[in-house]
Amino acid sequence: MSATVNATGNKADPAAKPAPAKTVKTTRTAAKPAAAEKGTTKMTDTAKVTETVKKAATEATNQAQAVFADLNDRAKAAVEKSQKIAEDLADFQKGNLEAFVASAKVAAQGLETLGQDAAEVGRKNFESAQAALKSFAAAKSPTDFFKLQSDYAKSAFDSFVAQTSKNTEASLKLAGDVFQPLSNRIAVAAEKFKTAA
């Protein structure tokens, strides 16, 4: 007959009854509450970390929004300033063009007046010369002829000096009138540069 080996490693007697199995009774004692506390601590730590991360994310979001809002405000201010400068520059150039046109009008009117005066002086000089030639032809003696010629030369010279003086004064006045609108624009430009600096 064959021998049977029991759980303890001894040969068992076939006729013997097997030994009853030992039951181990486990009781839950304080070990379980300690594990529960440990899990609660882990959950509390996780909640604190989550809360800290949320706070940090909120602060970072707020800071980013503040930075972008500041950048946006600065960009808007820069655009508005650029637009204002462009408008001022356009107005300034418009004023310069208007001053140039006004100056050109004054110059054209002045030159027209000078031209009319020159034509009038030429007509008077022609009439004066024509009358002088008639009087030269009517002279009865060489003495009368030289006297008439001398009087004519003197009156022509006096007329020439008076007309030259009048033309010089008119030209100087015209130059001042022509330059006045441009001078005003130069003053405006100087004032703008002074305020800009």
Considering the domain boundaries, does residue 8 fall inside one?
no
Considering the domain boundaries, does residue 54 fall inside one?
yes
Does residue 36 have a pLDDT over 50? no
Domain range for 127 is 36-196
DSSP the chain: -PPEE-TTSSEEPTTSPPPPPP-------THHHHHHHHHHHHHHHHHHHHHHHHHHHHHHHHHHHHHHHHHHHHHHHHHHHHHHHHHHHHHHHHHHHHHHHHHHHHHHHHHHHHHHHHHHHHHHHHHHHHHHHHHHHT-SSHHHHHHHHHHHHHHHHHHHHHHHHHHHHHHHHHHHHHHHHHHHHHHHHHHHHHHH-
pLDDT digits (tens, 9 = 90+) for 173-186: 999 999 999 899 88
Select the more confidently predicted residue: 193 or 98.
Answer: 98
Mean pLDDT of 12-32: 54
- Average pLDDT across the chain, whole number: 82
Considering the domain boundaries, does residue 17 fall inside one?
no
Does residue 172 have a pLDDT over 50? yes
Considering the domain boundaries, does residue 130 fall inside one?
yes
The dihedrals phi and psi of 139, each to the nearest 5 degrees, come to: -65, 135
Considering the domain boundaries, does residue 58 fall inside one?
yes
103 — pLDDT class (breaks 50, 70, 90): very high
Considering the domain boundaries, does residue 12 fall inside one?
no
The dihedrals phi and psi of 16, each to the nearest 5 degrees, come to: -80, 150
Considering the domain boundaries, does residue 116 fall inside one?
yes
Considering the domain boundaries, does residue 7 fall inside one?
no
Does residue 17 have a pLDDT over 60? no
Number of structural domains the chain divides into: 1
Mean pLDDT of 24-46: 56
